[in-house]
Amino acid sequence: MAKNDGTVIIKKYANRRLYNTGTSTYVTLDDLAQMVKRGEDFNVQDAKTGDDITHSVLTQIIFEQESKNGNTLLPVSFLRQLISYYGDQMQSFVPTYLEQSMMAFSEQQAQIREHLSKSLGDTPLAKNLQIPMQLMEEQIRRNTELFRQALEVFTPFPLNGAKTEPKETSRKADAKDVEDLKEQLRALQAKIENM
């Protein structure tokens, strides 16, 4: 079977080799990383058992990318926070939150690129311009703070020794975002209760 509903099947053998059934060739983790960047959908199956091992292979790709010199994407503080949620009562909410945050981040990135393209036109500067790191870092800080505040709603004790009250300056700026997040959490809770 080469494809399943447009999804390429990658088989992983006991010798750790990966076989792309769509192209009938062996591939590497770097090849799979390039497929992800191109938006190609694939599932990885254990060749012997047929079990879906996509999650562990994607995690391995992230590990390899993070190991490359100067190519880190995940800050140590984020990794520590992520690890702390394993086994925690909030663990089930983290994947949905991270997925939605990354989708929102991608949409904002596309909007910023579109805005810059409209503003600068078809100039060489526009073609070579990258999104300023300050904008990305601010968005990450904002998402992290919103996530921490949302978790405080469900957790009776401060997380990782954090103060239970947000800073006065950020409280005003984030009040609307917190209300939006609470509404999303209410909707998520309603969906869970209907299951």
Q: What is the pLDDT of residue 103?
A: 85
What is the per-residue pLDDT across 111-143, written as a single tens digit (0 to 9) for each? 777 776 677 666 655 555 544 545 666 666 677
| 61 and 82 fall within a common domain | no
pTM to 2 decimals?
0.56
| 167 and 94 fall within a common domain | yes
Residues in the chain: 195
| 88 and 162 fall within a common domain | yes
| 112 and 153 fall within a common domain | yes
| 80 and 166 fall within a common domain | yes
Domain interval for residue 129: 76-194
- What the block records as the tokens of 48 is 């012997």
| 185 and 102 fall within a common domain | yes
| 93 and 170 fall within a common domain | yes
